[in-house]
Amino acid sequence: MPGVCFAFPPALSAVCVDDANRTPRIVIKELANAGRKLAAGLALVALAWVGATGCGAGSEGDYGGEHPDYAKALAGAPPPLASLHRQANELLPGGLDSYEERIQGLRGYPIVVNVWASWCGPCRLEFPTFQRLSAAYGKRVAFLAVDSQDSEDAAETFLGEAPVPYPSYSDPDEAIANELGAYGLPATAFYDREGELVYLDRKPYFESAELRADVKRYALGEGG
């Protein structure tokens, strides 16, 4: 599959953490509208590229292709993580309150949260990366997702094509995304074992090595 690049202005990806209370603060809030417009434009570019190149379910690395054997890879996961695996591909209701309750319920485990939508081209193209990494780290790290600004039918159809071993919280009004500071899609949030948001990345992860490095650094705290 040919390489694809999407350039994001650095300021749109900037997140910092207040050392006093570890509350995430988006550095340049006035860029929120620009971020939304950029994400929408990138989605159209990516979908046009997929259509133009004729990528289908049989393409190697494409989101409709083969996925890991989750049952084998995640066998023996700790109960809190196994409960996520049992909800694989489900769209969970409850909005921000339910999402925050789940985050607190996972204390003791690092958490990676992917914010996506079925209409978002870069989101679709990064799904194979999350499939691979959630299988590789799913017995140590809690993977979750947020399906934002999406149609439930479209989201369910896409998850049928690109299954993942964790659920997504439905976020039609962007309440969860806005709380995270995800002003554009895709975005990925990393929580430490105490349930504190330590990093938010606003670019797609097309390469497994890049996501693996951030999981180790921000979720597991293993890298510098």
**Which domains does the chain carry?**
14-219 (3.40.30.10)
Tokens of 93: 């209701």
Tokens of 140: 């140590």
Residue 1 has pLDDT above 60, yes or no: no
Burial code (b: 16+ CB inside 10 Å, e: under 16) for 97-114 equals eebeebbeebeebbbbbb
Give every CB contact of residue 20 below 8 A, 6+ residues apart in sequence. none
Helix (H) or strand (E) holding 123: helix 121-137
CA–CA separation, 151 and 145 (whole Å): 15
pLDDT at 66: 83
pTM given for the model: 0.74
Residue 18 has pLDDT above 50, yes or no: no
AA identity, residue 34: A
Helix (H) or strand (E) holding 176: helix 175-180
Confidence of residue 42 (pLDDT cuts 50, 70, 90): very low
Look at 30 and 212; give whichever has higher pLDDT.
Answer: 212
Confidence of residue 64 (pLDDT cuts 50, 70, 90): low
Q: Angle at Cα 23 formed by Cα 21 and Cα 28, nearest 5°? A: 130
Residue 91 has pLDDT above 80, yes or no: yes
pLDDT at 224: 53
Look at 118 and 43; give whichever has higher pLDDT.
Answer: 118
Confidence of residue 63 (pLDDT cuts 50, 70, 90): low
Helix, coil or strand: residue 49: helix
Give every CB contact of residue 108 below 8 A, 6+ residues apart in sequence. 80, 193
164-171 average pLDDT score? 98
